Each structure stands twice: as C-alpha cells, then as structure tokens.
Structure 1
Amino acid sequence: MPMNIVVLLISILLFFVLFFGIGFILNMILRMTWVMAVIYPIVAILIIDKVRFVEYFTNSKYAFKELGHRFTTLATADIIILLSGLAGAIASGITIKLLRKNGYQMF
C-alpha cells in the first residue's frame, strides 16, 4: 500500500525527534557521546526483521538470510524513515559534543 506524503513527513519527524531524544538522554546519563549512533543499527534491525532474536544464535544461517531478504524488500519510504532516525541519533551526539565543548556539564 503506498504511503501518503503527509504520513511520510510526520513519520520522518517522529523518528528524528524520538531517536534524538533517546540519544540525548543516553548521552547525558552514560556520558558516552556516540552511544545511540552505535546502538541504532541494532534497533533498526529489530524493527525490520521478523525473526526472534534467539534465532540469530541458534539458526544463524536462516536468520541472516531472512534479514537480508527483509532489507532488500524495504520500500523507499521505509528507508527514508529509518535514515531519519539515524540522523536523529547522530544529531544528538553532535549536540552533546557541542554542549560539552561550550562548558555545559550534564550530570
């Protein structure tokens, strides 16, 4: 089913803000600037795949084959939405880095 442009724009904004916020909070608490940018690909894989997490260890060949199939069948809108989440995670790291450089000590 094709995605409405309004739904796409709202989804892009929501993913950006969601992962910016989560990344900002994790960066403040854990004091590791790029923690969400590193964790985001794992979160994206969990969003995309339909395979249980345990199967990556018990039935690796099937799980990774299924994941590759899911990646190749993603729609353009889905890729854009997921990339906006990654951009939010990276933006949170940049923001924290700039704030620390300007003398703000968070937690």
Structure 2
Amino acid sequence: MPMTVPVLLISMLLFFVLFYGIGFLLNMLLRMTWIMAVIYPIIAILIVDKVRFTEYFTAPSASFSSLGEVISHLAPADMLILGSGLVGAIAAGLTMRYLRKKGYRMF
C-alpha cells in the first residue's frame, strides 16, 4: 500500500519531534551535546534491519551484507522519514550549543 503525502509529512514531523525531544533530554541529563546524533544511526539500523544486534559481532560479514541490502531496498518515503529523525537529533545538538553559548548553565 503506497504512502500518501499527508501520512508522509506527519511521519516526518513525528520522527523529527521524537528524536529532537529525546536528544534534548539526553543532552540535558548527560551534558554531551552530540550524543543523540551519534546514537541515532544505531537506532535507525535497529529499526530497519531484521538481524539481531549481537549478530553484528558474531557474524559481521553476513549481518552487514544484509544491512546493505535492506538499506538499498528502502523506499524513498522511508528514507525521508529516517532522515527527518536524524535532522531532529542534529537540531537538538545545535540547540544545546546555542543555549550553552547564551549562558544557560543547565544545558
């Protein structure tokens, strides 16, 4: 079933807000500006791939081969949704840098 434009836009907005919020909270708690931008690719791989996480260490060649195949077969809508999540994680880091630069010690 193809994804309609309103569903795509709402999904992109939800992923942006979700990962912006998670990144903002992690930055406040851990005081590491880019933590969510670093963790996000791992989360995206867990969302997309059907391989168990431990198999990346026990059978890396087959796991990464499977991951490459799955990523190459993603629909453009799925790439846009996952990309908006990455943009949200990066925006959280930029917001933290801005707030720290302006003198907010909590951030």
Place the TM-score, normalised by the shorter chain, in its bin: over 0.9
Q: Distance in 2 between matches of 1:13 and 1:87?
A: 11
In structure 1, stretches of 5+ residues that fail to align are none
SS at match of 2:28: helix
> Paired residue for 1:12?
12
Q: Distance in 2 between matches of 1:103 and 1:54?
A: 42
> Paired residue for 1:2?
2
Equivalent residues in 2 for 1:76-87, closer than 5 Å: 76-87=76-87
What is the one-letter code of the residue matched to 1:37?
A: A
In structure 2, stretches of 5+ residues that fail to align are none
- Structure 1 segments of 4+ aligned residues over 4 angstroms from their partners: none
> Paired residue for 1:101?
101
What is the one-letter code of the residue matched to 1:46?
A: L
Equivalent residues in 2 for 1:1-107, closer than 5 Å: 1-106=1-106
Q: Which moved more, 1:54-63 or 1:43-52?
A: 54-63
Q: Distance in 1 between matches of 2:61 and 2:33?
A: 34
TM-score (norm 2): 0.96
How far residue 54 of structure 1 moved from its aligned partner, in angstroms, is 1.2
How far residue 97 of structure 1 moved from its aligned partner, in angstroms, is 0.6
How far residue 86 of structure 1 moved from its aligned partner, in angstroms, is 0.4
TM-score (norm 1): 0.96
How far residue 35 of structure 1 moved from its aligned partner, in angstroms, is 0.6
